[in-house]
Amino acid sequence: MRVPRQLLTAILLGAVALSPVGALAQATKPATPPAAPAPAAPTTELIDINTADKATLMTLDGIGDARSDAIIKGRPYRAKNELADKSIIPEAVYDKIKDRIIARQPPPKPATPAKK
């Protein structure tokens, strides 16, 4: 009687190992999330709103002839957000271009010696 019992045990163990329940238990392991792609490096340099010419300003989304003239007329800017703060361009346009612009400050002028 021993042989049938061992055979029955082996069959049951094989059935459990091959059953879908075993496969489901493995499938319930949390999958590791895919790695997020690295943000793409900007391919263009920032456009300085204090020194850019009209044609360069017009390459920005939402900046045409009139807005580029308004940007040039409002110079100098201490910060790029002044474009929207001073209503030179709408906030929605600023949100589109803010990652492509900068407001660089001119280098300080050398100090002149005091007259005696």
Integer Cα distance of 108 and 86 in angstroms: 25
Domain-wise residue ranges, the chain: 47-102
pLDDT at 26: 54
pLDDT at 93: 97
pLDDT at 32: 63
pLDDT at 77: 96
DSSP 21-81: HHHHHHHTSPPPPPPPPPPPPPSSPPEETTT--HHHHTTSTT--HHHHHHHHHT---SSTT
pTM of the model: 0.57
pLDDT at 108: 83
The 10s digit of each residue's pLDDT in 18-67 is 766 555 555 555 566 666 555 554 556 999 999 999 999 999 999 999 99
Say if CB 39 and CB 92 are below 8 A apart: no
The 10s digit of each residue's pLDDT in 69-113 is 999 999 999 999 999 999 999 999 999 999 999 999 988 888 777
47-102 architecture in CATH?
Answer: Orthogonal Bundle (1.10)
